[in-house]
Copies of this chain bind each other. A is one copy, B any other.
C-alpha cells in the first residue's frame, strides 16, 4: 500500500523529470506558464515543425505539467502548477537529507581534526 504510493510517486517524479529534461519542453512550459496559448501560437515561437511541438505538448500533458482545453478547432494549453508539486517535494526531501548529512559529516570530520591536533600537539 505504502509501497504502491511510493511507486506511483516515483513514476510521476520520473515522468515529470524526463519531461523537464528537455530545453525545448522547458521553453514551452515557460511560455504557457505566463499565458494560455494555442498549439499554433506555441509552435510559431520555435523554428521546428508543428509536429515536434505537438509531440512535446503530449509529453508535457502526460507528465501532468499541462492542461488542454479545446475551443473550436483550436487547443489551448496552460501550465498546471500541481504537476510541479511532486517534484518540489522530491527536491526538498533530497535537499534536506543532503544538507543534514553534510552537516553531520563536517562535524565528525572536525572532531577527527581536533583529535589529530591533540595528537600532533602531544607528538
When chains A and B are docked, how far (Å) is the Cα of A78 from the Cα of B105?
Answer: 10
Q: How large is the interface on A (under 10, 10 to 19, 20 to 34, 35 or more residues)?
A: 20 to 34
In Å, the complex CA distance between A13 and B17 comes to: 12
Copies assembled: 2
Task: State the CA gap A99–B67 with chains docked (Å).
Answer: 13
Asked whether, in the complex, the Cβ of A79 is within 8 Å of the Cβ of B101, the reply is yes
CB pair A10 B23 closer than 8 Å: yes
Stretch of A39-47, A48-56, A87-95, A111-119 with 4 or more beta carbons under 8 angstroms from chain B: A87-95
C-alpha spacing A95/B92, complex, angstroms: 14
Give the residues from 50 to 93 in chain A that come closer than 8 angstroms, CB to CB, to chain B: 78-81, 84-85, 87-88, 91-92
